[in-house]
Structure 1
């Protein structure tokens, strides 16, 4: 048929939408990340702070471009489905008139090529933004490498704290649900929860001061993430472990370890949009295949095939139904508005509630 596998491509649409959502959520996280001053600032910290500010600017530009890129990537399904459906409704009147079929299929081929062009342009925009973020990741890692070199005598303590920071943020992220085509089509309640982790540094005077605040957006289906987070044993254990370990490390070492939390955000983003999680190429390929199939049908009838005996042409109404399903799914995805869940605030502080619904 002149339509793709609806189930397979439906999941690619859901997964690709999740990639756009992940990058947008990352942008929100970075814009809300706060690195507070220490007294005094270690030599490496001002550079780290400047590079984080540069990353925030890049993310701000992504968020400005996001609406246009999102619609450009997914709404071609709607435009193409409309064009295909119009031809499918008229195709029964074409009979074996090769000239009429060729005219109709040529127009349809043009629509597929246009959809491919728009989609690939949007995918390139996504990739370009992500590549710039990756560049800053390298610079942030350089800053932290400098910090760890300066604090080589406390490397074991830094590693211990950083390990728990990664454990904490990974666990919070793992509570997020994956979007599927079924979830989107069913219109299930879709919650967005802001989870803010405030890492505090313990000074030599045994006073806790806020150092790093990181916000993450957690998306869940049918339930809020708040209850999952505040009752999660591993999250509580990681917060307690960080609190215990800060007692043994200098302020600078604590800060260096906790700063890995920013890198952890980028690491998480990598997992969400690259490798097996990258469905953009598969969705780009949809339009290439559609254009190729239409070209093949044109070639067949121009070579003498009888239109009413060509399966791809006879089955146009069924193919139109498939395109309509994909168009609806893509529209549902880009127009989804999540329900705002209760925010949750986490901290390693020993003098405040580790998990709370109110800001510390």
Structure 2
């Protein structure tokens, strides 16, 4: 088909980009791997210059157009609709050469007839799956749709640039960008794996620390339980002892009150006995005094009666000498004085 299209062209090949200069810039794959080892060395991007004929340009354009068509068909086959913008490269591809555009229109006309049927089958298959699997499938399809749109835009831009200036520098730049993204992605994966290992190590340390703390807490709880039990036992023993002491104190107090009452009774008895003895002693003294007084009074009265010869009491008369009479008179006088 490409040979027929080339033969159908009426203008000479020298008029359409007789020579195409292809400039490849960037780092070779080996330099990316050795970048970490040779960070201080200066790296100069290698440049590869090659000349492409008009036939090669047309072949590359046809291949790119075929890729764009396949990506477009893939977008219609995927049973998920996404809103996306139409790229400038797709507009320029529609405004390209008449041979390439006619081929694309023919392929699209043939393949769009099968879109509703395939689309309906895809939707039915999605609806029949479980919800979780459907969500994962939708995320995967969304990523596929984004990647397809990106590749389609890159290829369309490269094809437009090739048709305009005869070079595909944008494609090389896109490849370099993707290479950088891939390196960044690998670095991110490496960092993530390292972070996961660190997280696992920290989780293990955390589990060990938790286990150790749990053992310590268990030991402390056992000690606390032991001391609480001991405290309860000691408190109960002391309370029993205190109750016994209170009971003994109450008993002693009652006995002491009884003793005090008995002592007061004894003191009252002693006081009464002393008073009774004192009364008896005073009465005996009074009786003795009265008896002595009575005896004295009787002796005096008897003496008076005898001396004065009162009543039938008379002194017997005796004859004595004069000397004796004088002495007797003196004695009588003395007695009378007394």
**TM-score, scaled relative to structure 2:** 0.24
Point out the structure with max Rg over C-alpha: 2
Q: Which has the higher strand share?
A: 1
Structure with higher RCO (Cα < 8 A, 6+ apart): 1
Q: Which has the higher helix share?
A: 2
